[in-house]
Chains A and B, each alone.
Chain A
Amino acid sequence: MTLNKGSLFSMSDEPAVSTQDRLRKRRQNINVLFRRDSELRGKLAIYFGAILIILATVSLTLFLVWQGLRLFLFDGVNPLHFIFSNDWNPGDSAHPTYGAFPMIFGSFAITFLSALIATPISIGTALFMSEISRKWGNKALRPVIEILVGIPSVVYGLIGLTLIIPFIAHHGGGIGYGLLPGMIVVGLMIMPTITSIAADALQSIPQELKSASYALGATRWQTIYKVIIPAALPSLLTAVVLGMARAFGEALAVQMVIGNVTDIPHSMVNPAATLTTIITLHMGNTTSGSAFNHALWSLGLILLIMSYIFILIIRYLSRRSKVL
């Protein structure tokens, strides 16, 4: 009896355990299946997003290249003439001419001049925020700068139009329009961009490096210009290049203050034009398929090429070895 009982017991017990086990295993299998499934779906979503972005970029580029090349392919304009000549008059129905150099010059001038005034002020502010008074910098300056970054460019343009241009005109600067107000307005616009990126870069310099410098008897200024700035240099340059890219592409604010005359300006207070201002000014007025319209697309193509160059520079800077 006892033996029987024992065997019965064990018999009734064993299948129960194995069923439980089997159940558990099955649940695990289901879990694995399910996990595989959700992983697959996640992967698909990510790949889909990535492919979509790549496709959009590639097709945008191809489209712009195609549109931009039509002027040279179908309207018989020499690309070299387009880039290096000053005779921009595509609206002339009898003798249209397509020398875009004044706008190319204007765009580069605005970009470099605005970076020239914005860089020292921005880097100085960023240094103040990270090295002189981090508390003040993060509590007061950072929010202000974030607000400045978010202000639409038309507001900067309005400020230029109502404050800066009358001021320049009043102090002997002709009618006030030209590169000078453009450079001030765009400089103001890109300053917060450069400052916030530069401040992040400076604040990410490890404390140990600064300690090493102070422990060797360096003063604060020596530490800043011998250790902190060299260590942060690639990121600081990236900040400036990003600012320049923004300046190069800015249309609205510049259009409001530059005067939009397609000549090489003789001075900082002579009206000038940039690629973007001419595109926004005329794009609505040309019929598609006309040579004038193609010429505007060609200006756009130059903008695209330049933005690719800016990106290449930034990539080069961020990959650059930090040995100095």
Chain B
Amino acid sequence: MQTLVDVKEVYSTEGLSLWYDKKQALKDVNVSIFEKQVTAIIGPSGCGKSTFLKTLNRMVELEPKITIKGRISYRGNNLYDKHYPVEQLRHRVGMVFQKANPFPKSIYNNIAFGPRLRGIKNKQLLNEIVERSLKQAALWDEVRDKLNQDANRLSGGQQQRLCLARCLAVDPDVILMDEPTSALDPIATAKVEELVHQLKQQYSIIIVTHNMEQAKRVSDQTAFFLNGELIEQRKTSELFAKPFHKETADYISGRFG
């Protein structure tokens, strides 16, 4: 109980609604994301999980014809304030995509991409950042001898960890993950989950997943979405043990979705 009071909010949304053209994808969503915790987003396909995730780093604005209503505050600032510097936000909030998307560059240059954007040119410093990030992503031992090799020649699981390392290299505050293991085999999945577990010491993590077991294993909080609405968000153990809503109970027991 004591710790719960101390936990800080990283994100909170109030009445967040979003339309793609005329189609509403998020309906009046109120969520709180806590610092140094893993929040899992679950729900059936098309319920708006990815959309919600993309509102948090404003990537959703790259889609055409977007309308957004409501408020998202990140560390107390309103994100959709016109003057909020979106590039700065994305330096603080990293993202790992469903499909690993390394640049067609060397492993080294993939990791150094973010730091270079922020103006870091010092070779020594870049070397240190690359090594640290790859170690954090548990990839260092596998690639230390081939940093100049094309990143696309890594295996799928290695590529996904490379993408994680790439986003860690800018020393973010929050990491957004959109089904990061859906294309990976069980062993690679276990590695990524293990990483998530370690990384939450330093970062706040939000992970979209279709896998109930994964949500149970890695997350502290779970938010269940259905048709663009947030049905409930609670501590993971409580949500899975005693869901408040019938829809949640049906979904987590595999009755639909």
Task: Spell out A's residues near B (CB within 8 Å).
Answer: 206, 208-209, 211-219, 222, 226-227, 230-231, 321-324
Interface: B46 (CB within 8 A)? no
**Contact assessment for B105 and A212 in the assembled complex, using a CB-CB cutoff below 8 Å:** no
List 7 A-B residue pairs with CB atoms under 8 Å apart, sorted by A's residue number.
A212-B103, A214-B59, A217-B88, A217-B118, A219-B87, A323-B148, A323-B150
**Contact assessment for B105 and A217 in the assembled complex, using a CB-CB cutoff below 8 Å:** no
**Contact assessment for B94 and A212 in the assembled complex, using a CB-CB cutoff below 8 Å:** no
**Contact assessment for A216 and B166 in the assembled complex, using a CB-CB cutoff below 8 Å:** yes
Max count, chain A CB within 10 A of own CB: residue among B57, B102, B106, B113: B113
**Contact assessment for B87 and A218 in the assembled complex, using a CB-CB cutoff below 8 Å:** yes
B104 interface neighbour in A214, A219, A222, A323, Cβ under 8 Å: A323
B175 CB to nearest A CB, Å: 11
A217 interface neighbour in B87, B99, B109, Cβ under 8 Å: B87
8 further contact pairs, Cβ within 8 A, besides A215-B167, A216-B166: A208-B97, A212-B102, A212-B163, A216-B113, A216-B114, A217-B91, A322-B104, A323-B104
With an 8 Å Cβ cutoff, the count of chain B residues facing the other chain is: 30
With contact pairs A215-B57, A215-B90 given, residues A321 and B150 touching in the complex (Cβ less than 8 Å)? yes
**Contact assessment for B59 and A216 in the assembled complex, using a CB-CB cutoff below 8 Å:** no
For the complex of A and B, list the 8 residue pairs with the smallest distance between their C-beta atoms, beginning with the closest.
A217-B90, A208-B101, A215-B95, A217-B91, A323-B150, A322-B104, A216-B114, A217-B87
Contacts of A231 in B (CB 8 A): 103-104
**Contact assessment for B97 and A226 in the assembled complex, using a CB-CB cutoff below 8 Å:** no
Contacts of B101 in A (CB 8 A): 206, 208-209, 211-212
B155-199 residues with Cβ-Cβ distance < 8 A to A are 163, 166-167, 170
Smallest CB gap from B169: residue in A: A216
Interface: B120 (CB within 8 A)? no
Contacts of B105 in A (CB 8 A): 230, 323-324
Contacts of A219 in B (CB 8 A): 87
